[in-house]
Chain A
Amino acid sequence: MSFSSGFLTALVYLALIWCAGSSIALLALLWAEWKEGRLW
């Protein structure tokens, strides 16, 4: 039994979008804490 093309496509696109989203989330979090002077 093999993984289908649809599964592979969904897996890869999900991973790439997830990565893009996580980098944006980290930057947003940094911005929010920096504004409040709570980075460290």
Chain B
Amino acid sequence: MKRSLRTHKVEQLILATAGFFWCFLMWFSTAAFSPSIAAHYHLGIQALGLLASSAIWMAPLGRMVAGWAADRFGAPRTFALVLAVCGLMSIASAYTHSYELLFAERVIVATAGVSFVIGIQHVAQWFEPHEIGIAEGLYAGTGNAGAGVGALLLPRIFGTSYPSAFLWLGMIALALAAWYLLRGRAAKTMERRETARRSSGFKSALFVWSRYIAIALMLAYAMSFGLEISLNAWLPGYFARGFHAQILALGFTGVAGMQIAAGTFAAVQSFTASLFRPFSGYMSDLFHRRGWTPLPIIAKTLPYAPRLHWLGLSLILVTLAMGGLTAAGLSGHLPASVAVLVALGVFISFGTGGTFALVPLLFPERPGLAAGFIGGLSTAAAIVYPLVFADAANIHAGYLRVALVLFVPFVLFYFWAARYERHPEEHGVFLTLAAHEVAGE
């Protein structure tokens, strides 16, 4: 039985996007006020670093749990719970006078970052395969921009008064939670909702985690989103050290000046990576409509084969751009390095948008579990890349090393895992059962 609900899929897309945007605003609001918090509590550089890194702690495991919960209980309830808990904790942190308690509260507020996979599941439950690319791209790209908007606007609106900002952010989060509960509908049809709920058991989770194609997509997302957030942390320091003389020559002197210039060069990567993401979804849809399958090895006859090819192309472009970044750095030409970085940001967006244009199609019965695994575990890569960057003998050489040692094997694995012309999701490390058998549990 198909039952139409009194809402429209665009309303559900707007709900998910607004919720995700606000969650990302809350996720990075601590970072936006870290100088004020450090000054108020007289924090040293180590404590500040700990506060900054705490934002990512909850993401890998938290996203896997959130994806499962979205399948089990429906996205509206799960999203509303995340918004309400983070909102209440944000309000509590506005009235806290102990740093230890504030730190603990802000770590809980940072769980807002898990909301990404809930919205991915929600959008997947409402949109059709031929339009899923742009729908997921608009959701994720626009929502991601919440972090940038927070960094740009929050310090300008609230100055150093971070308690006021935390209070307002929390109150609006509570209002959004109520709106989500009131208007949110878990799926377009009861069948879709029931299928996702039935497929949310532990056996189903094991099934997703062990699929070659799910692992390949997780690595693809680690190559794109994982790289994006690792570069956020790494690039300001890279430009300050790797192009010190060139930045001085531009007229920036002292630590503050160097920080502004290096931060600006670094920011172009994340800005383009966020805001070009919907375009990647559109390109995935376009590949799908035109039936383009230009790459060798990767399947050509699957209904979503063109989308696999778009993602394959994106991953190759990311790998090449990493080599280009090393070449530009070694040449000592700052504008060339920034130009390659802009291109890298765009290619990263191709990877992030291309990955999540595929996930709901490969795992239509368990979109939350798949989104949680692929979007969660991949964030751990953000911890690994800076270690490899920093380990290189030459500060510019780290990008090429990551490309050769990690990305080339990831891309080869992707090509290998995406070669099956029938049901690639049924091939995995263990559990050889067909997808529908696991769903039946």
Note whether A and B form a binding pair: no
